[in-house]
Structure formats: structure tokens, C-alpha cells
Amino acid sequence: MKIFDKHFKVMKVALIMVFLVYLLVLCKVVLFKFSSPLTVIDSILNLNLDDDFKRHVKLNSNFLPFKTILSYVFYESNKNIVIRNVLGNLVLFLPFGFLLPMFVGRKLNYVRIIILSFFMSLVLELVQLFARVGSFDIDDLLLNTIGATFGVITQKIIIKIIKTRTNLTSHRLN
């Protein structure tokens, strides 16, 4: 029994490390693709909600759901941009929905994991907006949350398959 406990603890630590590396990569991809962490922090600390910021919000934000997605589908001729943006946002948060339930165990149900992914995405979008390192797009929130939902569903399916195979194996041994 002690060997199982030790193996479980090692797996838990490894999972925590994988999740932390994922969060660092997520921040790099979303927040630091065009600037350094110090630049982003400096922009937030020296935030000035003047006319220039209002102009930035107007030019670099989308608060209308599906506006960006529909413009990609109907008006964007370069399908690589469509695939990169739509699939990229879906895939970006898939690990969040997949890893977080394993990381927190049964402390949070799947609905709360999805809600947490929405708020994580919202924080990243707001940092992009206020630090002026990207654009705020409500469609990114939707796609990121859907991606996390796919991650949760994938994780549930994999766990179900593992439990089924484990039960089949244990029945064969008896």
C-alpha cells in the first residue's frame, strides 16, 4: 500500500509541474507574444485611462459575441488565419479543462472547472486590453471556454476508459 501512496504522490507532483508549465506557456502565448513580462507589468502599473486608451479599446476590442468568428467564416479569404485563430483559441484552453480536474481532484465539479476557465480567459483578455499587448475579444472568451469544455469532456472519457479497462483486468485476475 505504501508503494501505491508514494507512486500517487509522485504522479501528483508531476501533474502539478505539468500544469504550471502549461500556465507559463499560456501566458507566453497570450500575453508575451509581442512584448516582455516587464513591459506588460509596466503598462498595467502605469495605466492611464485617457483618450488614447479609449481609442485603443475602440480599435482593438470586440464586445459583440460571434462578430470575429463570423467575420472569419464569411469575409476572411486566408483560411490559415481562420484556422489559426479559431482552432488556436479552442486548443489553447483544452489543457486547462483537461488538467485542472486532475490537479484539484474532487474539490471542484466540472461545471465549476468550466466557469473557472471562463474567468481565467477573462483575466487574460483584460490584461491584454489594459496592458495594450493584444486585443480584447469576447469570441476568444467563448472559444477558450469551449476549448476547456472539450478538455473536461476528453478527461472524463479517458478516465471512464481507464476505469473500464481496470475493472476488466481485475475481473480477469479473479
- pLDDT tens per residue, range 59-71: 889 999 999 999 9
**56 vs 126, which has greater pLDDT?**
126
pLDDT band at 87 (very low <50, low <70, confident <90, very high): very high
- CA 74, 75, 80, 81 torsion-angle sign: negative
Mean pLDDT of 30-43: 83
> Which three cell numbers mark 104?
484539484
Pairing of strands 61-62, 136-137: parallel
Give the pLDDT confidence score for residue 1 in this predicted structure. 47
Give the pLDDT confidence score for residue 60 in this predicted structure. 87
Give the pLDDT confidence score for residue 117 in this predicted structure. 96
Mean pLDDT of 29-37: 85
For residue 112, pLDDT over 80 is answered with yes
For residue 57, pLDDT over 50 is answered with yes
Give the pLDDT confidence score for residue 24 in this predicted structure. 93
pTM over 0.75: yes
Give the pLDDT confidence score for residue 128 in this predicted structure. 92
On whether the CB atoms of residues 151 and 96 are closer than 8 A, the answer is yes
Taking each helix axis from N to C end, the angle separating 110-131 and 37-45, rounded to the nearest 10 degrees, works out to 80
For residue 28, pLDDT over 60 is answered with yes
Give the pLDDT confidence score for residue 171 in this predicted structure. 58
**Rounded Cα distance, 144 and 115, in Å:** 11
